[in-house]
Structure 1
Amino acid sequence: MCGIFGRVGAAAGAGEVLDAMEGGLLHRGPDSRGRYADDWAALGSRRLSIVDPDGGSQPFTSEDGSVVLVCNGEIYNYAELRARLAGRHVFRSECDVEVIAHLYEELGIGLLAELEGQFAFALYDRVRGVVHLARDPFGICPLYYARDGDGLDFASTARALPAAGRIDLRGLDQVLCLPSVVSPRTLFEGVSSVRPGHRLEVTRDGVREVEYWDLDYPAAEETEESGEFADAGALLGALRTAVRRRLRSDAPVGLYLSGGLDSALVACLAAEVAESPVTHTFSAVFPAAELDERPYQELLARRLGLPHRPVEVTADRIRRDLELAVWHSEVPLRESYNVASLALAEAAAGEGVKVVLTGEGADEFFAGYSGYRFDALRAALPAGRRPPVPQDELRAREAMWGDPSYGYDLDVAALRRAREELYSSELLSSLPEFDCTAFPVADGRRIRGRHPMHKRSYLDVKLRMTDHLLGDHGDRMTMAHSVEGRYPFLDRDVVDLAMRIPPGLKLRGQEEKYVLKRAASRVVPEQVVRREKFPFTAPGSAYLVREAEEFVRDWLAPDTLRRHGVFDAGAVERLCDTYRDPGYDPSTPQRTDWLMIVLTFTMLRESADAAAPCRVVEL
C-alpha cells in the first residue's frame, strides 16, 4: 500500500502543487517516493514497502515507456499473472503491482477483469493520451479527485487535494442519516471519491466514468431459499486460499482478534499456513465489562501461540486521540471505535508489523447483522399485521435506492425529528437542497426484484462497508500509522461462492452465519463459534460527557457552534444535560450517537476552513 497523487491537464507539471499533495501523503508512504511528469500529466507515489522492498519503487513503466503506472494496493494473483506474461515482457522488479503496466500492454483497461486484489491506480497511456483512474470492486483502497479548471487532480486522501476545504452539506447529511458518507460524495465541496468498481477515463476531451464491476445477485425467482450447501469444506477451502494469498508479504504480518467468529476464523487459517510471516496478534480491550471481549481474545491467542498485544482503549485515550482519528477519517464519526482502530494500528507499527489481516466482509455476505433477522421476522408476519409505511418513507426509499418495497434501516420520521432538533434554524431553511433522503445512494437495478437478504447485503456493502468499515474505520486508521489492512472475506472467489449459497443457509431460523459457523467449527474453538454475536462498540459520547466533560465543553462551546452555523447550540447542550443526569446509564444502546457526530464534525470543521461557509454542490 502507499499513497498516490497527480495532476492531469492544465499546469500538469506544477511542482509546488505536487509537493503539497505529496506532503499530505507521507504517512501512507514513508519508505520511498517517485514521480513522472510531462507537459500534460504528472503522477507521483509515496511507497509503503511490503513486497520487494528494495526493487518496487514507483512509477512503473512499460518497456518502451509508453505506459506509466502508480498504484496503491496489492495484487494477490500477481504471481499467476506474471507467469502468463513470461517471455513477452521484461519486469524490473518482483513487486506485485508492476504486472498492471504489462497487462495493460496486452489487454488495455480490460485488465481490470483479471485482477484479484485491493487497489487504486493511475495509469497514463502516453500514446493514446488518456489517464485511467481505477478503484477495486469494494473500494478497499481510496482514490479522490477534483476538477481544476481544464485539469483534474487526484490523490489517496481528500485532504491532499488543493480543492479540499469547504464542507459539503449533503455529505454531512449522509453521515447523520446513513452509516457514513457514500461515494462519490465526500465531506469536502468539489472533492469526489472514485466509486468502487469504477474507473475514470481522463482525456483532453473531458472525463468519463465507467462501471466495470458491481455486486449483482440473481433475481428472487432464481434464488433457492434453502437446501443443503454441498460442502462447508468448499467454503473453508476458499477462505484458506484467500488467507494464503493475503499472507504474501516481505514484511511482518499481524492479526486483529476481536474475539468474534470472523477474525478468529481468519487467524486460525493463517496459523495453518506453514510459511506464514505472522508475528503478533492485537486486540482492543475496554475497562467497561459490557464492552470487553478479553476472555475470547485470550482464548484465541493461546490457541495460536503467538505474542499477543491487548490494547486498552479508555476515555483518556479517546480524549487524546479522537481529533487525530477524525483528521485521518476525513468525516465526522458516529462512534469512537475509530480510536480503537487507530490504537491497534499504532501497536502493530510499534512491533514492526506492516500488514494486518482482519475479518471485515463476513457480516455483509453471511447475514451477520441483526437487520437480517429483523427482515426475516417482518417477512413472516401476515400481510394484515404489517404496519403501513408512511408516504414520505416510500418516497425516500424510491429516491435513495429505487425500491419502495424495501426499507433497509431507514426511518424518515425519526431522522426528520433529529435533524429538526439538531440543525441550526438557518440550516433547516435550506434542508430541501441537501436532504440526502431525496437523492440516490445506490443502484436500484441491483435491488429491485431480489431476495430480501440480497437487498440488505447489497445495501450493507454500499452504505456501510465500503466508505465506513473499510474506509474511515479501516484503511484511514491503519494507514495513519503506515500499516496495511487486508480482508480475506472480500476475496473474489469467496464472494462468488457466498453469493451462490442459499439465504436459508446463511440465516437458519434466527441463527446468523449458519453455514459459516459450520465451516469454522473445523478450525475455530467451539466457545467462539457458538457465542452470541457481539457487535463492535466503544465508549460513546455519554461516557465522554461523564469522564471528560471539560474536553467536551471545550470543543462544543456555544460560540464555536454558532460560528459554524450548522448545529443548534441549545440542542447540543440539552444532549449533554441528558448524559450528565445521574439517572442516565451511559451504556444505554443508541441507534445513533448524535452528540458524537456533532463533536467530531466540530473537530473536522476546525481543522478545515473554519471561516468558509458550508455549501451543497451537485456532483
Structure 2
Amino acid sequence: MCGIVCAFDLKEKAEGLRPQLLEMSKKVRHRGPDWSGIYASENAILAHERLAIVDPASGKQPLFSPDGSLVLAANGEIYNHRELRKQFEGTYDFTTQSDCEVILALYKEKGIDFLDDLNGIFGFAIYDASRDEYFVARDHMGIIPLYMGWDKNGTFYVASELKALEGFCNKIELFPPGHYLHSKEGEVKRWYTRDWMEYDAVKENETSIAEIREALEAAVHRQLMSDVPYGVLLSGGLDSSVTSAIAKKYAQKRVESDDKTDAWWPQLHSFSVGLEGSPDLAAARKVADHIGTVHHEIKFTIQEGLDAIKDVIYNLETYDITTIRASTPMYLMARVIKSMGIKMVLSGEGADELFGGYLYFHKAPSPKDFHEETVRKLKKLHMYDCLRANKSLAAWGIEGRVPFLDKEFIDVAMRINPKDKMINGERMEKWVVRKAFEDYLPESVAWRQKEQFSDGVGYSWIDTLKELVEKEISDDQLANAGYRFPIQTPTTKEEYYYRSIFESHFPSDAAALSVPQEPSVACSTKIALEWDEAFRNMNDPSGRAVAQVHEDAYEK
C-alpha cells in the first residue's frame, strides 16, 4: 500500500512547486514508509511513498518506460501481472519485478483502453512526457482511495488521501471508483461497467454453489501474492472466517511459483480484536483452532478506544458514524500487527454488499429490490468499508486486501439469481456463502448470525460512545448545528461530536463535502429505509437496530 501525490497542468514554475509536492507527499508517508521517490518536469510532478510488498529490492517508484517518456506513480496491486507480462515477451523491456510495471507496458501498447485487463486494486497516474498528457485511474470498487483537487491558480492534483490536499487546494473531490481521466479528453469517464448492474440481466440466472466456491478460492489464491510476511484478519464472523480458511489452504506454497515451491513464510498468522469477553474474540479463537492458524487476540479497553478517536478521524478522513465506530478497533489492531513485522493482511469486506448480509435485508420486499440495493451498496462501498479497511491499516503501513471484492469474483457473485440471496424462513442471510464453505468451518461459525464489526468487538463499545457524546454535546448545540455546520449539518449528537473533531483536522468546506451523509438503519441506503415502517423514523447504523431480527435487538 503506497501513497501518491501528483500535480499536472502546472500554473507555476515546477522548481517552485517541487518542494510543496515533497511536503504534501510527506503527509501520506505512513502509507509507504519504505522509500520516497519524485519525478519533476516543467509540466508535471509525481511523488510516491512506497510500501514494498512485491519486489522490495528493485520496485521503487516512480517507474519509467524503457525510453523514459512514460512515468508512473501507482498505489495498488495488480494480481494478474504475471499473466499480463507474458504478452510482452520480446517486445517490452521490463526493468523490475514490480507488479505495477505492467501498467506502463499496457498503456504503451493499448493507450487508455487497458483498464479492464487488470485484476487488482489501484489508484495511479501516468505522465506521458513526449505528448505532455496524463492519465489517472482508480480500481473498479474504489478499494484504493484517490482524491483530486485544484489550487487557487488552477494546478490540478491527485492524491491518495485528503490530508495531502487540505490547505493547498480550495476545491477537493473524490476521484470516483471505476473511472479514469485522460487529459486529452478532459473529463472523468467510467471504465467499469457490468451487465449485472441491471436486475433484468440476472433475474433468470441459475445459481451454482460450486462456482461461488471455486471463484472465491481463486480470488484468495491470487491475492496471496507477496514477497513479505502477511496475515489474515479474523473476526470470527462468516466472511473473515471463509477468507482465512481458504488462505490457510494455500499458505504452504508460494503463489508466485505456481505453488511449486515452499512459501517463504508458511505459518499463517491470524488476528482478532475486541473488548475482554467480546463475541468476536470467542468466535475467532474457535475458527483459528479449527483451521490451524497462529492466532493473536488483541484486546483493547474502552478508554483506549476513546483516546484513539481523534487520531482515527485524522487517518480515516471521515465523520461517518459507522466508519468511526468500526475503524477504531481496527486501527488499534493494525498497530499491533505492524509491531509483529506483518505488512499485508486479507480482510473480509464486501460479502455483505454482494450477498445482502446486513440484517435489514431481511425486510427486502422482492428479489428486484434486494438486487438493486446490493448494486447501490457496492457503488457506495468506497466511502465506507473500503475506506475503513484501507486507511485503518495504511495508518500503520499495512496493506489490506479484500478477496470478496476481487473483480472476477464480483462478476460471479452478482450474476447469481437474486431470489437465491433472499432471506426467508428456511434461509438466513448469506445462505449461499454459508453453503459453499460450510465444510471449511465449525458449524457454529458457518451458521452464526451477522454481527457488524463495531458490534462484534463488544456491545459496550458503542453503548459507551453514545453515553460519551450525550455528555459532550448539549441539546442546544445539536439544535443549532446548522449555524456551526451549514454544510452537511450533523443530525445526531454522535455525528456532531465526530464532525467537530474532523473540522479541527480538516477545516475547509471542500474537505467536509468529501464525506458522505445519509440516514441509515443497520448500514442501509436511504432507499431501503422505505422497506419497513419501523425504519423510517430511525437513524442508527448498528445491526442491533433491526427489531425482531437481531438476537440482541434494542428494547423499545
TM-score tier by shorter-chain length is: 0.7 to 0.9
Partner of 1:535: 452
Partner of 2:58: 55
The aligned amino acid for 2:143 is I
Q: 8 Å contact 2:202–2:416 — kept in the other structure? A: no
Query: Which residue among 501, 506, 520 is the counterpart of 2:421?
Result: 506
* SS of the residue 2:484 aligns to: coil
Residue 609 of structure 1 and its aligned partner are, at CA, apart by 3.3
RMSD: 2.9
Partner of 2:296: 309
Partner of 2:548: none
Query: Which residue among 351, 364, 377 is the counterpart of 2:353?
Result: 364
Provide the rounded CA distance (Å) in 2 between the counterparts of 1:323 and 1:607.
Answer: 9
The aligned amino acid for 2:499 is F
* SS of the residue 1:237 aligns to: helix
Query: Which residue among 305, 323, 334 is the counterpart of 1:318?
Result: 305
Q: 8 Å contact 2:4–2:49 — kept in the other structure? A: yes
Partner of 1:169: none
Query: Which residue among 305, 330, 337 is the counterpart of 2:317?
Result: 330
Partner of 1:607: 505
C-alpha distance after superposition, 1:57-91 (max 9, x if no partner): 00111111111101000000001011121111111
In the alignment, structure 2 segments of 5+ residues that lack a partner are: 254-262, 515-556
Residue 95 of structure 1 and its aligned partner are, at CA, apart by 0.9
Query: Which residue among 205, 209, 212 is the counterpart of 2:188?
Result: 209
The aligned amino acid for 1:15 is R
Matches within 5 A, 1:418-429: none
The reply on whether 1:348 has 2:269 as its aligned counterpart is no
C-alpha distance after superposition, 1:539-592 (max 9, x if no partner): 56641465x689x63x87989998994269xx99xxxxxxxxxxxxxxxxxxx9
Identity %: 31
Q: 8 Å contact 1:146–1:163 — kept in the other structure? A: no
Provide the rounded CA distance (Å) in 1 between the counterparts of 2:121 and 2:435.
Answer: 28
Matches within 5 A, 1:167-566: 190-202=171-183, 207-217=186-196, 219-224=198-203, 229-230=207-208, 232-273=209-250, 274-275=252-253, 277=265, 279-287=268-276, 292-335=279-322, 336-376=325-365, 379=366, 451-463=368-380, 465-471=381-387, 473-507=388-422, 509=424, 510-538=427-455, 539=460, 542-544=463-465, 546=467, 553=472, 565-566=483-484
Change in CA separation of 1:565 and 1:255 when aligned onto 2, cut-off 3 Å: same
Provide the rounded CA distance (Å) in 1 between the counterparts of 2:448 and 2:513.
Answer: 45
Residue 284 of structure 1 and its aligned partner are, at CA, apart by 1.5
The aligned amino acid for 1:6 is C
Change in CA separation of 1:98 and 1:565 when aligned onto 2, cut-off 3 Å: same
Partner of 2:161: 157
Change in CA separation of 1:565 and 1:542 when aligned onto 2, cut-off 3 Å: farther
- Give the count of matched residue pairs: 488
The aligned amino acid for 2:155 is G
The aligned amino acid for 1:303 is H
The aligned amino acid for 1:478 is L
Matches within 5 A, 1:97-176: 97-148=100-151, 149-163=153-167
Q: 8 Å contact 2:172–2:510 — kept in the other structure? A: no
TM-score scaled to structure 2, two decimals? 0.81
TM-score scaled to structure 1, two decimals? 0.73
Residue 314 of structure 1 and its aligned partner are, at CA, apart by 2.5
Residue 163 of structure 1 and its aligned partner are, at CA, apart by 4.5
Change in CA separation of 1:25 and 1:222 when aligned onto 2, cut-off 3 Å: closer
In the alignment, structure 1 segments of 5+ residues that lack a partner are: 166-188, 380-449, 573-591
Q: 8 Å contact 1:242–1:491 — kept in the other structure? A: yes
The aligned amino acid for 2:313 is V
Residue 613 of structure 1 and its aligned partner are, at CA, apart by 11
Q: 8 Å contact 2:62–2:73 — kept in the other structure? A: yes
* SS of the residue 1:36 aligns to: strand
C-alpha distance after superposition, 1:305-330 (max 9, x if no partner): 22222122322012210000000111
Change in CA separation of 1:324 and 1:503 when aligned onto 2, cut-off 3 Å: same
Residue 40 of structure 1 and its aligned partner are, at CA, apart by 0.4
Residue 363 of structure 1 and its aligned partner are, at CA, apart by 1.0
The aligned amino acid for 1:543 is T
Residue 263 of structure 1 and its aligned partner are, at CA, apart by 0.6
The reply on whether 1:17 has 2:6 as its aligned counterpart is no
The aligned amino acid for 1:458 is V
C-alpha distance after superposition, 1:473-519 (max 9, x if no partner): 11111100000100111112211111221112222525222221111
Residue 599 of structure 1 and its aligned partner are, at CA, apart by 1.1
The aligned amino acid for 1:531 is R
C-alpha distance after superposition, 1:326-362 (max 9, x if no partner): 0011111304221011012112101111101011111
Query: Which moves more between the two structures, 348-357 or 534-543?
Result: 534-543
Provide the rounded CA distance (Å) in 1 between the counterparts of 2:453 and 2:288.
Answer: 19
Which protein is bigger by CA-based radius of gyration? 1
C-alpha distance after superposition, 1:236-287 (max 9, x if no partner): 1111111111111011111111111111110110011132546421111124
Q: 8 Å contact 1:265–1:524 — kept in the other structure? A: yes
The aligned amino acid for 2:368 is H
Partner of 1:400: none
* SS of the residue 1:298 aligns to: helix
Q: 8 Å contact 1:67–1:126 — kept in the other structure? A: yes
Q: 8 Å contact 1:223–1:451 — kept in the other structure? A: no
* SS of the residue 1:332 aligns to: coil
Change in CA separation of 1:493 and 1:221 when aligned onto 2, cut-off 3 Å: closer
